Chains A and B, each alone.
Chain A
Amino acid sequence: MGRYVVRRLLQMVPVFVGSTLLIFLMVNVMGDPVAGLCGDRQCDPATAAQLRREFGLDQPRWQQYATYMGNVFTGDFGTAFNGQQVTELMSTAFPVTVRLTIVAVLFEIVIGVTLGVLTGLRRGRPVDTTVLLLTLVVISVPTFVTGLLLQLLLGVTWGWIKPSVSPDAAFGELIVPGLVLASVSLAYVTRLTRTSLAENKRADYVRTAVAKGLPRHRVVTRHLLRNSLIPVVTFIGTDIGALMGGAIVTERIFNIHGVGYQLYQGILRQNTQTVVGFVTVLVLVFLVANLLVDLLYAVLDPRIRYA
C-alpha cells in the first residue's frame, strides 16, 4: 500500500510539470498582456517597458517558466496586474469554490445515489421510468439554462432566495448554485448507480445472501451497494476536479467570487500569473482526487489489493 502511494506520487511529478508548462505556453501565446492595461489608449513606451520588467515579461519564455516554477515551490505565485498577490486571490477564491463543490458533491451523493438505488431496485416500475425521464431532461438542458431559470424563478418571481451570492458565500447561500452545478453530474450518478445495482442484483453473492435469510436492508447496503458503488466513486472522484474548474458558468450566473471568477477575469485581462497559478492548483486537486479514488477502491472491494 505505502509503496503504491509513493509510486503514484512520483508519477504526479511529470504530469504536474508537463501540464503547467502547457498552460504557461498557452497563456503566453495570447500576446503581450501589458498592451491591454492602458484602456483604449497606447501605454506610453517607457511605462510599458517598466511594467514588463516588473512582471519579468522581458525575459525569454523558458527563463520566465523556470523563474515561475522556482517561485511556486517557495509558495510565491507572483503578483496579479492589480497589485494583489496571487496567493491572496487564492486564499479568498478557493474556500468559496471548495464550499460550492462540497454542496454539489453532497447533492450528487445524497440525491444521486438515493435515486439510483430506488430505481435500481424497482426496475421497470413507474418510479424508474419517471426518474429516467427526469435525468434525461436534466442532462439535455445546459447548465446556464437551469441556472438562469432557477435564478429568475426563485430569486425574482417568487423571491425565495437572493439572485446573487454575497461575498461571504455561506453554505446556505450556495444551495441553489450547488444544485445547478451538480445537476448534470447528479443525473449521471443516478443512472450509473441504477445500472450497476441492477446488474449486481442478479449476482451469485446476492442470491446467497438472500438465501442465508439476511434481512433485505442488510443485503442491499452491505452486499449489493458496496460492490455497485465502485464506478460511482470513480465518477464522483474525477468530478470533483471538473466541478471546481467547471464552475465558471455557475459562478458567473450567481456572482460567486470563486475560482471560476478569477480564472475568467484572468483570461480576459491576459493575466498570466493568475491563470497559471489557479490552473496549477486545479491540476494538483485533480491528481490528488484521482489518487484518493484509487485508494477508496480497496476499501470498497476487498478483492482489490495494492502492493
Chain B
Amino acid sequence: MRGVTHARGAVCAVAVALAAAGCGGGGSSSGTGAAVLSSSWGDPQNPLEPANTNEVQGGKVLDMIFRGLKKYDPRTGKATDMLAESIRTEDSRNFTIKVKDGWTFSNGEKVTARSFVDAWNYGASLRNRQKNALFFGYIDGYDKVHPARGEQTADTLSGLKVVDDRTFTVRLGQKFSTFPDTLGYAAFAPLPRAFFTDHAAWLKKPVGNGPYAIQSYMKGSQMSLRKWDGYPGPDKARNGGVDLKVYTDNNTAYTDLMAGNLDLVDDVPAAQLKNVRSDLGDRYINTPAGIIQTFAFPYYDKAWNRPGMEKVRTGLSMAINREQITETIFDRTRTPATDWTSPVLGTDGGFKPGLCGRACEYHPEQARKLIKEGGGIPGGQVRITYNADTGSHKEWVDAVCNSINNALGNGKACVGNPVGTFADFRNRIGRHKMSGPFRAGWQMDYPLIQNFLQPLYYTDASSNDGKWSDADFDRLVDRANAETDRAKAVTLFQRAEEVVRDNMAAIPLWYQNGSAGYSERLSDVALNPFSVPVYNEIKVS
C-alpha cells in the first residue's frame, strides 16, 4: 500500500510542475466583463435547419435564435401567440393566419407571411430530405410534395397561400382543431431569404429572428450566441449571451461546473445524482419534462396479438415495482407513470393522474393471476430489447426484469436483450424484428395530449413502432381532432387513452424529469417542458 500512495504523489508532483508552467499561457477570453454564460452542449446530429432538427441539442440553438407564430410558455407549456397576431378558423380545417407587424430577422429582413410559407414548403419538400417533414403532413397537398414512394409531383404545398404581406391561409387535409397550438414547434419557424439564396453560408452561421444571434460557430466545438439588441419580442435576453460548449462526456461537463469552468450543465450524469444535492444544494433543478418511457409490444407478432394477451400485458405492468426503481436507480429523477401522457400538460391540457389505475401499480399476486388467465407469456420468457449505448438503459431494464421475476416467482421470466447502438436498435424496430417488448421513449414535440397519443397509437402513425391498431381508438382521436371546443377535445382524447389502457397497448413506466445544475454566478435558471434551459431568462452576476 505504501508503494501506491508514494507513486501517486510522485506522478502528481511531476504533473504539477509541468501544469504550472503551462497554465500561464491558457485562460484568455473568460473575463471580458459582459455577462455571458457558458453552457454544456452536444454536437447536433443534423444540419441546423429548423425542419431538420429532431433532437434536443440542435433544438436548444433553434429555441434561442428563432421565434415562431406561437411559443410555449416555459412554465405552463401553454401555447401563446408570438409572431401570430391572429389565427382564425371557422371549420377547424381552413385557417387564416395574420403575422404581427414590426418583426425582423437579425439581418434586418422583415418577417412576412412569405417567410413562413417558403420555410414550410422547404420543410415539406421531399427533395430537401428534412427529417421533420411529417409535421407538414396535415397540410393539404403534402402527398404531392412528399409522396410515400416515387418522385414528387409538386414543389409547394397546395394548402398554403400568401394573401398579402402579413397574411396567409392554411388548408388542412382533415379537421384538426388544435393545429394552431402545434405551431410553436421549431419546424414551423420562419426563414429569411438568405436561407434559400446562400444555403451553405446560412448553415455555417444560421440567422433567425429570436432573442439571440449567432456570433461565431465552430462546428463540433463551440457556438457563441450574443444578445440581439434589436429583438422586438417581449422575451428579451436578460444576459449578454451564451457560449455553448460541446462535451463528449457529461461527466466532464459536471467536473467543469465543479471547477468553476462552466456555468450551466443541463444533463446531470447518472453517476453524480447521489452527490448532486450536496455538491450544488439549491443550484440543482429537477423538474418534470414532456418525456414518458414505456414498453411497446410487437403487434405484428401473432404471439403478442392474440385475444387474451391484454391480460398478460396488464399482468406484466402490475409486476413492475415503479416506486422502487425510480427511487433506487433514478434517484427520483423519474416519477412513476399513472397515465400515458405527461404532468407538463397540466390537468387542463389532458394529464390525468391515476387514469391507469391499478394496472400501473405493483400487485404481484394479481400479476401472476392475470398472466395465467391470459395464457402465459409467449415462449415462456419476456425479452426486453433496448439500446445499451446511452442513457443507462441497462440498469433499469435489469431492475424491471428483476421486479418481474420476483413478482412471478420465476427467475427466468424476464431477461434484458441489449442492442449495441441506438441506430441498430431503431433499425431492428423499423424492420419489425422485435420478438417481445422493447424500450420506447417519447419526447413530446408540442405540449398537447394529441402528441402523446396520435403519433404513437393511431393506426400506421409515424411512431407507432409496434403497429398497434384499434378502430375505437382511431375513431375517438378523429372525433377529438374535429372538436373545436378545447375542453371537449381533451375529454375525447382521454377516452381514447382509456382504450389504450384497457388493451394495455403499451406499458407506461415513468415520467422523466429534466435536470440541470448551475454555478453561483447564475440566477433565475429554469428548464422548459422540453427540458431545455430557458436561456433568455437567466441572469448573470
Contacts and interface: CB of A to CB of B under 8 A. Distances in A.
B430 interface: yes
B22 A171 contact: yes
Given A33-B423, A36-B426, A40-B440, A154 B133 contact: no
B421 A36 contact: yes
Interface stretch (A67-75, A162-170, A234-242, A286-294): A162-170
Contacts of B233: none
B11 A44 contact: no
B11 A146 contact: yes
A44 B145 CA distance: 14
Interface string A6-36: 0000000000000000000000001111011
A84 B127 CA distance: 19
A34 B73 CA distance: 34
Interface string B374-409: 000000000000000110000000000000000000
11 contacts: A35-B426, A36-B425, A41-B463, A44-B133, A88-B219, A89-B220, A153-B12, A159-B260, A161-B23, A176-B15, A251-B248
A132 B421 CA distance: 42
B222 interface: yes
A137 interface: yes
Interface stretch (B44-52, B109-117, B160-168, B170-178): B44-52
Contacts of B455: 41
A156 B462 contact: no
A183 interface: yes
Contacts of A270: 421, 423-424
B54 A30 contact: no
B136 to A, nearest CB: 11
Contacts of A159: 259-260
B389 A268 contact: yes
Contact of A30 (B3, B16, B424): B424
Contacts of B20: 160
Given A33-B423, A36-B427, A254 B261 contact: no
B303 interface: no
B438 to A, nearest CB: 11
B388 to A, nearest CB: 12
A72 to B, nearest CB: 22
A224 B269 CA distance: 53
Contacts of B6: 133-134
User: Which 3 residue pairs of A and B lie closest in terms of their CB atoms, listed nearest first?
Assistant: A36-B423, A172-B22, A167-B221
A264 B424 contact: no
A269 B54 contact: no
B423 A155 contact: no
Interface in A103-159: 111, 133-134, 137-138, 146, 149-156, 159
Interface string A262-295: 1011011110000000000000000000000000
A35 B424 CA distance: 7
Contacts of B426: 35-36, 38, 40, 42
B266 to A, nearest CB: 16
B454 to A, nearest CB: 13
A183 B428 CA distance: 42
Given A47-B129, A159-B259, A252-B249, A83 B46 contact: yes
B23 A160 contact: yes
Interface string B17-46: 011111111110000000000000001111
A63 interface: no
Given A35-B430, A39-B55, A179 B252 contact: no
